[in-house]
A and B are shown apart, each in its own frame.
With several copies, the nearest count.
Chain A
Amino acid sequence: MRLLKILPAATAVALLPTLGLAQDADVTPTNGEIGYILNTFMFIVTGILVFWMAAGFAMLEAGLVRSKNVTMQLTKNMALFGLAAILYYAIGYNLMYPGDGWTINGILGAFSPTSVEPVGLAGVETDLTYASVGSDFFFQLMFAAATASIVSGALAERIKLWPFLVFVLVLVGLIYPIQASWKWGGGFLNEMGFLDFAGSTVVHSVGGWAALTGAIILGPRIGKYNKAGKTVPIPGSNLTLATLGTFILWMGWFGFNGGSQLYMDTAANVADISRILVNTNTAAAGGAIAALILTQLLYKKPDLTMVLNGALAGLVSITAEPLTPSLGAATLIGAVGGVLVVFAIPLLDRFKIDDVVGAIPVHLFAGIWGTLAVVITNPDASLIVQVKSIVVVGVFVVLASTAVWLLLKAIVGLRVSEEAEINGLDMSELGMDAYPEFHKG
């Protein structure tokens, strides 16, 4: 359509499909369309930011695994996003947002592939009060992919590629959208009055629960816990990439939380979005600084990997309610998240649950905290309802994931051979070293 730009304006306008032409031919857009354009463009921008988080997870994980497993981790991250994109289109979206097409009312959504508006909105009655289905689908799709990314980090360095990808299919195609429909699809949790603005529970805890069950069933990496039962640290191979990944996720989170306002068609909505952004930013800062100070106090030396996890925990903590807190409250809510991970990481080790990147503390523990914290600043929230909802979602995801993990374990096996794990998944499973020229030891 490039050509248009060199035609005289008149023709140009004429060529453009304009819903409003009827009303007033001389103004584009018509007043009625402005809100729709703003809402849709807001989803486009924030959706692209959430997409970017896929790269953030990939870099964070590539940086925290050993160099002998980096190619595998990158392959998993690329593949899971591709599969998530396809599955969410094929099943996920309508299962999550059935509108009034529920299969079982408020519990099980609709089964059908996604279809977006026709080109130029030709021949359809468009509801101009929201945004285009295309932009909404684009935005929601990225959330589904993020849920899967959470899992890949925790199970790194030992799980086989294909069984992991099969789990991703089930997670993004069924588990995630079904439970998400309960809240965001207008299902029974929503009826109950559950509040989860951008998904501390609906997204992050779901990824966290799936990761937890996977980590337990899979067992720890060889050598992570010695005969004496002591934890043997396995340092990540590239902290610069881990830091880059954290910055990318932080950036993407502005889209994650900001876009969840869903509307930018009034001064009030856009002001709310800006309020959400400053709260999201300060919560991340609070989490990072809390972890910085706490590791200094506990270990006499700040631990960068904990600071990174702290920033992410701050982001997860504020995700359930980024709008109502004041800047001060948001900072504290994030800081508590940061403190949580610092204590949770060694705790998981005590139980010999081997979470390579700290996904469980960051996404599950901070996710639960964030969901509870809603009641602190949002009068409409009820603690009982929040707890109930956390439990309902938790039980469902744990049961479903466990079933899938065990099934995969029984049929194809989840874990690579001991030799493959020792030699590294890159050479043994993929025959490809991520850093072939660099000497490692």
Chain B
Amino acid sequence: MKLIIAAIKPFKLEDVREALTTIGVRGLMVSDIKGFGAQSGHSEIYRGAEYEVNFVPKVKLEIVVPDELADQVVETIANTARTDKIGDGKIFVLDVETAVRVRTGETNEDAL
């Protein structure tokens, strides 16, 4: 199984979730993160003092899927989250050794 980690723009979350369910993803974890990257670094003024905004709000997805589904998931996220503007985000794939469903104790593919 693979763990797919993706940082995307927050307003794309709903579209991505929908797109993923249509290709058979049945679960995922979402967290709000502060992203640092090429998009960062514009400056704002607060009470007359200028400062750099280094972090932009992003949403992080973590999805564990069977190996054979991994590429499709990556593609789907890439296509749905793209706005062609800087800051669209990144997708990373890691290997997962075991998966367990707490409720049933099922393991690996059956747990997803």
Contact = CB atoms under 8 A, between A and B. Distances in A.
Contact of A431 (B11, B34, B45, B59): B45
Contacts, number: 47
A303 interface: yes
Given A440-B32, A441-B32, A441-B59, A235 B46 contact: yes
A358 B49 contact: no
B85 to A, nearest CB: 8
A422 B11 contact: yes
B44 interface: yes
Contact of B46 (A432, A440, A441): A432
Nearest to A346: B48
A439 to B, nearest CB: 5
Given A422-B11, A431-B44, A432-B44, A439 B32 contact: yes
Interface residues of A, number: 23
A431 B47 CA distance: 11
B47 A303 contact: yes
Given A439-B32, A441-B32, A232 B49 contact: yes
Contacts of A358: 47
Q: Which of A299, A342, A345, A358: most chain B CB closer than 10 A? A: A299
Given A232-B51, A233-B51, A299 B45 contact: yes
A233 B11 contact: no
A349 B48 contact: yes
A306 interface: yes
B10 interface: yes
Contact of A346 (B32, B44, B47, B57): B47
A432 B11 CA distance: 19
Nearest to B31: A441
A431 B44 CA distance: 6
Given A439-B32, A441-B32, A306 B49 contact: no
A231 B32 contact: no
A422 B10 CA distance: 9
A305 interface: yes
Q: Which of B45, B48, B51: most chain A CB closer than 10 A? A: B48
Contacts of A305: 46-47
Nearest to A430: B44
Interface in A136-182: none
B16 to A, nearest CB: 14
Contacts of A231: 48-49
Contacts of A230: 49
A409 interface: no
A244 to B, nearest CB: 19
A358 B49 CA distance: 14
Interface string B27-61: 00010101000000000111111010000010100
B46 A233 contact: yes
B44 to A, nearest CB: 4
Interface string A292-316: 0000001101010110000000000
Interface string A352-368: 00000010000000000
Interface string A223-254: 00000001111010000000000000000000
B32 A233 contact: no
B45 A342 contact: no
Contacts of B32: 439-441
Contacts of A235: 46
Given A232-B49, A441-B34, A441-B57, 13 more contacts: A233-B47, A299-B48, A303-B45, A303-B48, A305-B46, A345-B47, A345-B48, A346-B47, A346-B48, A422-B11, A439-B32, A440-B32, A441-B10
Interface of A: 230-233, 235, 298-299, 301, 303, 305-306, 342, 345-346, 349, 358, 422-423, 431-432, 439-441
16 contacts: A232-B51, A233-B47, A233-B49, A303-B45, A303-B47, A305-B46, A306-B47, A306-B48, A342-B48, A349-B48, A422-B11, A423-B11, A431-B45, A431-B46, A440-B57, A441-B59
